[in-house]
Amino acid sequence: MTNTQKRSADAEVILYTDGACSRNPGPGGWAFILRHQPTGKTREVSGSRMQTTNNQMELQALIEGLSSLKRPTRVHVVTDSSYLKQGLTEWIQNWKLRGWKRKTSHGLKPVKNVDQWKQLDELAQNHELSFELVRGHVGHPENERCDELAVNAYQELLG
């Protein structure tokens, strides 16, 4: 069994997430698929914003997915966003230590999308998270479905 299979097997739920934008910035959508491992029950949810960025939609998809959980849960997050995965697994601790600032070649700068990162940080404290990064648009069924839901969500805004 690979590490990914083990993390997935240990999880109570698998949360597939994706965000999409028509332009960056521009109309955007987010989506998640939540699968309860013991029962196989699956739920799909999506939403949109008129003026946003792709990264904001990636973050919002995870915020919405984690917010939908009613109790502390072991969650295996599957995403095509290295920004999202690295943010929560590598960068966030240093951001917090620096007062939500990131290192740049010109010194410390405010973390982009800080309100969403703070919300995710708070939500993550309630759950045991593991992450799997998948390549987008290469046929991963749930990732493709999340992308379809996110795109449909923002296209509804456009009429």
**pLDDT of res. 4:** 45
pLDDT at 5: 44
Domain boundaries, the chain: 3-158
Adjacent-strand bridge partners of 74: 128
For 3-158, give the CATH class: alpha beta
40 catalytically annotated: no
Catalytic annotation, pick one of 18, 64, 132, 142: 18
Pick the catalytic residue: 28, 64, 65, 80? Answer: 80
Q: Is 19 a catalytic residue?
A: yes
Catalytic-role residue among 29, 47, 58, 132: 58
Considering only CA atoms, which of 143, 98, 87 is closest in space to residue 120? 87
pLDDT tens figures, 111-150: 999 999 999 999 999 999 999 999 988 889 999 999 999 9
Q: Is 127 a catalytic residue?
A: no
19, 47, 65, 87: the catalytic one is: 19
Q: Please confirm, yes or no, whether 147 is among the known catalytic residues.
A: yes
Quote the tokens at residue 54. 């792709």
pLDDT number for residue 8? 60
Say yes or no to pLDDT of 18 above 60. Answer: yes
pLDDT digits (tens, 9 = 90+) for 74-111: 999 999 999 999 999 999 999 999 999 999 999 999 99
Residue 58 designated active-site:
yes
Which pLDDT score, from 0 to 100, does residue 3 have?
Answer: 42
pTM: 0.92
137 is catalytic: yes
**Burial class, 16, CB count within 10 angstroms (exposed 0-12 / middle 13-18 / buried 19+):** buried
